[in-house]
Structure 1
Amino acid sequence: MAPSATQILVVLLIVILLFGAKKIPELAKGMGSGIKNFKKAMKEDEDEEIATKNVENKAQDNIQATTKTEEKQA
């Protein structure tokens, strides 16, 4: 069930009464900054996982190449 326009206005009025009109932009800026930092951290984690997988794949390739070279020499 979606909130009606009246319910949204009541919630906004309560927020303005609790925090004051001057604090609301500060709160929004803080929330935006928090979301931005969260997304940045998520991207860094994904990049780190990709880099780790690339290193693991290269190491596995080197092991396989070394094994093939040793087999040819034997």
Structure 2
Amino acid sequence: MFRNGLEPWHLIIVLVVLVLLFGSKKLPEMARGLGKSMRILKAETKALREEDAPAEAQNGTAASQAEQPRQAVEPTNVTKAAEPSKSTTA
């Protein structure tokens, strides 16, 4: 039923409906606004990534793990301590 869901004539119809709804003057303004908001989003995500990078460098996690392999840890057997018997004294 939806094999060829998006054909060229579908895009033309959507474009015509957009022009009829918003007018030809509003569409470029809307596109500019969308472009500006995408640039702001990109800049903010880049700033968040840069904030996370110094925090990792201060902790030394990223640099030390990349340079030095971890040493193997020997497994240890854990035994459960016996519970002391509860004696009742009267």
- Shared fold by TM > 0.5? yes
Which residues of structure 1 form unaligned runs of 5+?
A: 62-74
What is the aligned length? 59
**Residue type matched to 1:34 in 2?**
S
The equivalent residue for 1:35 is 38
Higher relative contact order (CA 8 A, sep 6+): 1
Question: Highest Rg: 1 or 2?
Answer: 2
More helix by percentage: 1
> What is the CA-CA distance between 1:56 and the residue it aligns to?
1.7
Cα RMSD of the aligned pairs, angstroms, is 1.8
**Residue type matched to 2:17 in 1?**
I
TM-score normalised by length of structure 2: 0.60
Q: Percent identity?
A: 27
Q: Distance in 2 between matches of 1:6 and 1:39?
A: 32
Poorly superposed stretches of 4+, deviation over 2 Å? none
**Residue type matched to 1:52 in 2?**
A
The equivalent residue for 2:57 is 54
